[in-house]
Amino acid sequence: MNVIHTAEYCNNCNKKLKNRDDKYKHSHHRGYCRTCLRKEFFSLLDSFEDGISKILKKISHKLTSEEVQNIERMIELQMGSAKIYAEALLNNAREALEVKDAQSARSYFEKQPEVVRGIVQRMTKDSGEIMELGRAYADEAQTLFTKSATDLGAVVQDDIKAANKGA
C-alpha cells in the first residue's frame, strides 16, 4: 500500500521526514525515510544472498555428484588395469620359470618385446581413457558453471526489478 505523498512524508511508513532526510526528498529515493530505505536495502540484500546461496548449494551438490561418479569411473579403470598388469607380470614370471635350456631361454627373450609392447599399448589406452574422463569432467563442470552464472544473472535481474518496484 504505497500512498504517494509529497516529499514531506515517507511513502512507505507515512512518517514525517526529518531534516536529516532532506537529501532523500530530492534524490532517487525521494519520499522514503532512512529507516525504510535501510529495511528495503537489507531486504534486497537478503533476497540476493538467498538466491546466491541456493545456486551455490545446487552447484556444490551437482559438482560433488559428478566428482563421485568420476572417481568411481577412475577406480574401476585403475582396478581393471591393475588386474591386467598383474596377470601379465604373473604370466611372464611363469614363462621365466619354465626356462630350462638355451632354446627355451631364447624363445622367452624373443617374446619379451611383444610382452612389453602389449603392456605399453594397454598403458596408452588407459592413459587415453583417463584423459577422456578428465575432459568429460571439465566439460560437465564448465556447463554447470555456465548454467549457474545464467541463474545468478536471473537472480540479480529479479533483485534489480524488485528494487526498482520498491523505489
pLDDT per position as a tens digit, 8-29: 777 778 787 766 545 545 554 5
pLDDT per position as a tens digit, 113-149: 998 998 899 889 988 988 888 888 888 878 877 877 7
Q: Which three cell numbers stand for residue 4?
A: 504517494
Q: Which three cell numbers stand for residue 51?
A: 538466491
- Which residue is listed with cell 541456493? 54
Q: 78 lies in a domain?
A: yes
Q: b vs e for 145-166, b when ≥16 Cβ sit within 10 Å of the residue's Cβ? A: eeebeebbeebeeebeeeeeeb
Using a pLDDT cut of 90, give the percent of the chain over it: 11
Q: Which three cell numbers stand for residue 141?
A: 563442470
Average of per-residue pLDDT values in the chain: 78
Q: 20 lies in a domain?
A: yes
Same domain, 20 and 58: no
Q: 37 lies in a domain?
A: no
How many domains are contained in the chain?
Answer: 2
Q: Residue 151: is its pLDDT beyond 70? A: yes
One-letter amino acid for residue 118 of the chain: G
Same domain, 92 and 152: yes
What per-residue confidence (pLDDT) applies to 5?
43
Same domain, 16 and 79: no
Task: Measure the CA–CA gap between 59 and 65, rounded to whole angstroms.
Answer: 10
What per-residue confidence (pLDDT) applies to 85?
87
What per-residue confidence (pLDDT) applies to 110?
92
**What angle do helix axes 102-166 and 34-97 make, rounded to 10 degrees?**
170
What per-residue confidence (pLDDT) applies to 1?
47
What per-residue confidence (pLDDT) applies to 106?
92
